[in-house]
A and B are shown apart, each in its own frame.
Chain A
Amino acid sequence: MSVFDRQYQVWEGERTTPFTRLLILPRYAFRDIFSSRLFTALFTASFGPTIIASLLIWVRNNVSLLEKFGLKGAAIADLPTADGRVFLFMMFLQLWFAAILTFIQGPALVSPDLVNGALPLYLSRPVTRTQYVLGKFLVLAILLSLITWIPLSYLFFLQASLAGGSWLFENLRLLFGIVFGSLLAVAVLSIAALAISAYAKAKALARALAAGLLIIPSGFGEVLNEALDTHWGRMLNVVASLESVSATLLGVPHRVELPLAGGLASLVFVGIVSLLLLNRRLRAFEVVR
């Protein structure tokens, strides 16, 4: 159909595959997301710790440079090295950035579609509700991956290349902990943000709800711990659950008295509840009974 004759034409060309269509929603969303200066500034700032950490790793492994600063053998050996504690610290630093970015962008993912009745437009295409949720999930998952496990993996491989020898193979557990722990956190953050966005129509309300869901169960968990003289109340604290899982995977002792299974169960529970809420809320139309 060319503009000048304005005739309707059936599309007879090739069609893209369902798999490639998953990336259409993220592609369109990124353009809107990065039109926000606040978001772009925070996103850029979130690479700061990685840049500083890579410089420190490079300096720590550059003996000739350290010697120029007057440090000798034993003093150099006493300097902190990139181990599990460092990676756990970096992981949580990046996850705080991830949480802030989710806090800013999460509420805008689903609620505008519900408010403006856009779901029938999406779902009348060869797009299922699962694909719609996956597309929206990928928006956050891709963004958060770019500031969590991807830069942390880069730091790991930088350390491995500079340390040389058998460091890489001796510390493969760190890589697994970094990637699995971050992916779990990203998945839980993204899916919970989608669920909150689906229920709170206004952005401010969604943010308040997110903050409330983070703080109130944690407080309630602490009350349970005190009242029942237990530590299982920490399962209601998402941050504590995440710390338990990540620290255990990285082989680092942690202050949270929650076993790996308890932390994992808590995070999986949040994910499943979020999915159930999304399943209940995301319909092509609202049924008025």
Chain B
Amino acid sequence: MSQQPVIQLDALSVRYGRREILKQLTGSVSGRAIGLLGPNGAGKTTLLHTLLGFLAPASGTARLFGHDVRTEGPRVRELVGYMPENDAFIAGISGVRLVALMAELSGLPAEAALERAHEALFYVGLGEARYRTLETYSLGMKQLAKFAQAIVHGPRLLFLDEPTNGLDPPARTRMIRLIQSIVKTGKVQVVLSSHLLRDVEECCDEVIVLKDGRIVQQCNLEEERRTNRKLLEIELPAGDDGAGLVAALRAVGCECAPGRGRKTKVVLPEGLEIRDVYKLAEERDVPLRHLSFKRDSLEDIFLSAMESDATQGVAPGVPPSAPPRIAAGV
């Protein structure tokens, strides 16, 4: 996959009448799977609508793969597949006809469109139901049909707006697996808009958090996960033994901070591994009652972003204002 930015925003503002929904968004993303997070009304769907050309920016520009969404709308939409949030189907036609119609409208010749419609429906697991009219589909099946129509023309970028909305747990798992599998092919990049952190955490490698129409956080989850491997939480016995081990850890370059109860938070320096902590404990004959990676979850990132003030002009992959990741003192 090329490293060309998928989405570039330059002071993008969007209004509904007098109300400013997106406020001076600036930044770019190039991840394989980009999560668009935010509470209801944060502007996630508005941003997707703007990128699809449904809404004209009041000011600023938005580009997809270098194409301006305002001036090159049809070209942009050839490259994009869109799964809308709400119920969206054409009455009275079968699943395969809907998907074939959408493929033809994206520019595929009729024969190829029909062939790919069958394949896309098999791919999402609706192969057996493809000749049934869409009105007879369950909610989960309608979501899958929307997914199939979004991928049938082989887009380079897929916009998924709340794809797991209203799904029961097995259907949700199926949808998440589908998204993961399509991301894994490396042939399409995905923008997943959701207010469900778990969905984004399971599928995405890059996250943008929106709040009140502004980007308040942008981070690379892969990077976060790698960093978090160096954060440990250990539980030590009371008394001098524990203090001795902490001193020894500090001596080899660790940063330590007291946690709750007898727990201590430890940041390992470069070159020091977890087994070295075990060795130090063994040398001092200190029993480690508990040792865990203290992962900074997406929820932590999200919540801290919600607490922090809106930040603009975020550089790609860099948190605009690094929120506190572990307790102060480390």
**Inter-chain contact B105/A24, CB cutoff 8 Å:** yes
Q: Which residue of B lies closest to A12 (CB)?
A: B154
Any A CB within 8 A of the CB of B23: no
Query: How does the 8 Å CB contact mask read for B153-171 relative to A, with 1 for contact and 0 for none?
Result: 1111001000000000000
Interface size on A, residues (CB 8 A): 39
Any A CB within 8 A of the CB of B93: yes
Main secondary structure of the interface of B (DSSP, over half): mixed
**Inter-chain contact A126/B88, CB cutoff 8 Å:** no
Smallest distance from the beta carbon of A58 to chain B beta carbons, Å?
A: 40
Main secondary structure of the interface of A (DSSP, over half): loop
Any A CB within 8 A of the CB of B257: no
Any B CB within 8 A of the CB of A170: no
**With A and B bound together, what is the CA distance between A239 and B224 in angstroms?**
71
- Given contacts A13-B112, A116-B90, A117-B88, whether A126 and B77 have CB atoms under 8 Å apart is yes
**Inter-chain contact B52/A118, CB cutoff 8 Å:** no
Interface size on B, residues (CB 8 A): 54
**With A and B bound together, what is the CA distance between A116 and B135 in angstroms?**
10
Any A CB within 8 A of the CB of B54: yes
Smallest distance from the beta carbon of B212 to chain A beta carbons, Å?
A: 17
Interface of chain B residues 47 through 104 with chain A (CB within 8 A)? 49, 52-54, 73-75, 77-78, 80-82, 84, 86-93, 97, 101-102, 104
**With A and B bound together, what is the CA distance between A18 and B118 in angstroms?**
24
Q: Identify the interface centre among B75, B78, B89, B105: most chain A CB within 10 Å of its CB.
A: B105
**Inter-chain contact B77/A125, CB cutoff 8 Å:** yes
**Inter-chain contact A11/B116, CB cutoff 8 Å:** yes
Interface of chain A residues 106 through 125 with chain B (CB within 8 A)? 112-113, 115-118, 120-125
User: Which of these, B81, B93, B108, B119, contacts A2 with CB under 8 Å?
Assistant: B119
Interface of chain B residues 1 through 21 with chain A (CB within 8 A)? 16-17, 19
**With A and B bound together, what is the CA distance between A6 and B124 in angstroms?**
9
Q: Which residues of B contact A255 (CB under 8 A)?
A: none
Q: Which residues of A contact B84 (CB under 8 A)?
A: 117, 120-121, 124
Query: How does the 8 Å CB contact mask read for A75-105 relative to B, with 1 for contact and 0 for none?
Result: 0000000000000000000000000000000
**Inter-chain contact B54/A11, CB cutoff 8 Å:** no
Q: Which residues of B contact A18 (CB under 8 A)?
A: 74
- Given contacts A6-B122, A284-B54, whether A116 and B87 have CB atoms under 8 Å apart is yes
**With A and B bound together, what is the CA distance between A13 and B112 in angstroms?**
9
Any A CB within 8 A of the CB of B26: no
Any B CB within 8 A of the CB of A229: no
- Given contacts A9-B154, A287-B16, whether A3 and B73 have CB atoms under 8 Å apart is no
**With A and B bound together, what is the CA distance between A11 and B78 in angstroms?**
10
Any A CB within 8 A of the CB of B188: yes
Q: Which residue of B lies closest to A127 (CB)?
A: B105
Any A CB within 8 A of the CB of B106: yes
**With A and B bound together, what is the CA distance between A13 and B97 in angstroms?**
21
**With A and B bound together, what is the CA distance between A125 and B159 in angstroms?**
12
Any A CB within 8 A of the CB of B288: no
**Inter-chain contact B73/A10, CB cutoff 8 Å:** no
**With A and B bound together, what is the CA distance between A289 and B16 in angstroms?**
8
List 5 A-B residue pairs with CB atoms under 8 Å apart, sorted by A's residue number: A13-B108, A116-B91, A124-B80, A126-B105, A285-B54
Given A117-B89, A121-B146, A289-B16, 16 new contacts (CB under 8 A): A1-B116, A6-B123, A8-B151, A15-B106, A16-B108, A21-B105, A24-B105, A115-B91, A116-B88, A120-B84, A121-B90, A125-B102, A126-B73, A285-B49, A285-B54, A289-B17
The 6 nearest A-B residue pairs measured at CB = A11-B154, A15-B107, A124-B82, A126-B74, A284-B54, A112-B91
